[in-house]
Amino acid sequence: MIPIENYLVLSATLFSIGLMIVVIKRNAIAVLLGLELMLNAANINLVAFNLAHPERLDGQMFAVFVIIVAACEAAVGLAIILQAYRVFHTAVPDSISTLKES
């Protein structure tokens, strides 16, 4: 059996990669991809650590909910990005700046 620490290392690595993508990438769609990666990193943790309590399924159940939430977030997110693209003709949030300190 794979030692439980390995799951932790894997999920932390994935989370960090997702974090890097969100911070570095400028395109909003790439940022959404990074966010999905971060959520799924947490999912790996939830499912893996359910192994320690096989009689309870709370970790796996939570993971299913997270998948649903991630799908909703992506759907609404893409809709908003599309709308912003229609108005601003760009999907790069940094180059949109109608809101400023006065």
Partner 1 sequence: MSRADIIFLLPHLMLTLGAVLVMMAIAVRRNHFAVYVLTCLTLIVALYFLPKTASLPHNVGVLFVVDGLGVFNTMIIMLAALAVALMSYAYFDTREERTGEYYMLFILATFGACIMVISGHFVSFFLGLEILSVSLYGMIAYLRKRERSDEAGIKYLILAAFSSAFLLFGMALIYAATGDMTFEGLSGYFSAFDELPILVMTGVGLVVVGAGFKLSVVPFHMWTPDVYEGAPAPVAAFISTISKGATMVLLVRFFLAIDGFRFPVVLTIFTVISIASMVVGNILALRQQNVKRILAYSSIAHFGYLLVAFIAADELGVEAVNFYLVAYFATMLGAFGVVTVLSHPERDAELLDDYRGLLWSRPALATVFVVTLLSLAGIPLTAGFVAKFYLLASGISTNQWLLVILLVVNSIVGLFYYIRIVAVMFDSAEEREARPAGYVGNFATLLILVVLLVWFGVSPQGLIDVIRNLVGVG
**Cβ neighbours of residue 52 closer than 8 Å, sequence gap 6 or more:** 4
Minimum separation from the CB atom of position 24 to partner 1 (A): 13
Which one among 9, 61, 67, 89 touches partner 1, defined by CB under 8 A? 61
Q: x-or-dash pattern for partner 1, window 2-31, by CB under 8 A?
A: ------x--x---x--x---x-----x--x
Query: What is the Cα–Cα distance from 54 to 84, expressed in whole angstroms?
Result: 46
Which one among 1, 2, 3, 52 touches partner 1, defined by CB under 8 A? 52
Query: What is the Cα–Cα distance from 1 to 44, expressed in whole angstroms?
Result: 16
3-state helix, strand, coil in the chain (%, to 5): 80, 0, 20
Q: Quote the tokens at residue 8.
A: 């932790």
2, 75, 78, 91 from 84: Cα distances, Å: 45, 14, 10, 7
Which one among 17, 27, 59, 60 touches partner 1, defined by CB under 8 A? 59
Residue ranges binding partner 1 (CB under 8 A)? 8, 11, 15, 18, 22, 28, 31-32, 35, 38-39, 41-43, 45-46, 48-49, 52-53, 58-59, 61-62, 65-66, 69, 72-73, 76-77, 80-81, 83-84, 87-88, 93, 96-99, 101-102
